[in-house]
Amino acid sequence: MGLEGIIKSHILGLEPYQPGKPVEELERELGIEGCIKLASNESAIGPSPKAMAAIREALEGVHRYPDGASFALRERLSSRLEVDPEQLVFGAGADEILELLAKVLLGPGDEAVFAWPSFAMYPVVVQGMGATSIRVPLTEDLTHDLPEISAAVTDRTRLIFVCNPNNPTGTSVGAEAFDRFVESLPKTVVLAIDEAYYEFVRRTDFPDSLKWVGRRPGTIALRTFSKIFGLAGLRIGFGIADLELAGYLQQARHPFNVNRLAEVAALAALEDVEHAERARSTNSEGADYLHSELGALGIETWPTDANFLLAKAGADTAGRLLREGIIVRALNGFGMPDHIRISIGLPEENERLVKTLRRLREGGL
């Protein structure tokens, strides 16, 4: 069509986010059934039955626009988190909150600083506004290099993303290092603490992000219903910010960005404490199992506080697993061709992965 001349140059250069391959697509390609997906950090145990019941009940009302204020969910979450209801900003996934942050803070000439490898959406939302990504390499043990992130802040920096636990490594930073880091930041940058995996965290000294939201203007913690609550397909997440920042994000938000079904499902999922507990314990046992079994195969893994783990399984392992009907995440795009990211599955899925990796290692395939 020849639109290149009028499309924004930063959009022309965008590298689109590469989502994990859907199971149905792989089954079609291989002509087999029973493929498993351990690639997108989705809930291993599926959605809460209470959330599903709430969705069914709400179906009758889908001709109505959603409650643009997410009133019921806002009230429930604010009392649970002990924050002012107006500190909450809801989005179509935490992804939309990332995008809103970029929209209100970034333009050409501005910089956003984040660790790398980290969540692949950060450079997408930054470049989407024509701003510049400053990527700070992870340390040797693949954790955030917080002093280097702090040192990378300039007078052009508007936004810092800290992904804790970090995707795709699963590693996390503790309270002591984190608190020192926040104290080192100038007042004029917004700090976004991405806690998409918050509910899976096992370390006991995990930072208290909400303490900083309460203390430091321009701080936001991001959470989501996509991971432990098993609602990735409905698209709902939220940010908890100081009142001023929350206000700007609300101003930039579309009025009906969160759909009706997502709102009722999220509320019901929050009430289903037993289901979230089961997701957490299934994940915790799966993490221990995979660490020890992969270790026994001579595959290096990293400690994880999330629902996935990083494994140094050798070049093209993801491709070879794919041909065996198992989808994991290749990390070539991060310059880590020897590593894969494995979403922790149900026990039988984890066992199938281990068995297949063992066969691949023994050269049987």
Ligand X SMILES: *Cc1c(COP(=O)(O)O)cnc(C)c1O
- Please report, to the nearest 10 degrees, the dihedral formed by the alpha carbons of residues 338, 343, 347, 349 taken in order: -70
Task: Burial-class residue 198 by CB neighbours within 10 Å (0-12, 13-18, 19+).
Answer: buried
Closest separation in Å from C-beta 256 to ligand X: 17
**Among the listed residues 90, 163, 92, 101, the one whose alpha carbon sits nearest the alpha carbon of residue 128:** 101
What is the enclosing helix (H) or strand (E) of 255?
A: none
Residue 225: CB minimum distance to ligand X, A = 7
Q: Which is nearer to ligand X, 196 or 360 (CB)?
A: 196
CB of 34 vs ligand X, minimal distance in Å: 26
Give the integer Cα–Cα distance in Å for 275 and 287.
18
Q: Cβ(13)–Cβ(129) under 8 Å?
A: no
Are 102 and 112 in contact by the 8 Å Cβ rule? The answer is yes
Judged by beta carbon, residue 108 or residue 137, the one nearer ligand X is 137
Residue of 321, 325, 324, 288 lying closest to 304 (CA atoms):
288
CA distances from 60 to 54, 119, 260, 261 (A): 11, 37, 11, 10
3-state secondary structure of 156: coil
Cβ neighbours for 312, distance < 8 A, ≥ 6 positions apart: 299, 300, 301, 338, 339
Q: How far is the CB of 8 from ligand X (least distance, A)?
A: 24
Residues making contact with ligand X (CB under 6 A):
41, 93-95, 119, 163, 167, 194, 196, 224, 226, 232, 237
Pick 132 or 257: Cβ nearer ligand X: 257
The 3-class secondary structure across 324-337, one letter per residue, is CCEECEECHHHCCC
- Name the minimum Å distance from CB 365 to ligand X: 31
Minimum CB distance to ligand X smaller for 48 or for 293? 48
Write down the least CB distance from residue 95 to ligand X, Å.
3
CB of 355 to ligand X, least distance (A): 27
Beta bridge partners of 157: 111
Q: How far is the CB of 238 from ligand X (least distance, A)?
A: 9
The least distance separating ligand X from the CB of residue 41, rounded to whole angstroms, comes to 6
Instruction: For ligand X, give the closer residue by CB, 117 or 286.
Output: 117
By CB atoms closer than 10 A (0-12, 13-18, 19+), residue 357 is buried
Cα torsion 47, 48, 49, 53 to 10°: value is: -90
Residue, CB closest to ligand X: 93
Q: Between 150 and 224, name the residue whose CB sits nearer to ligand X.
A: 224
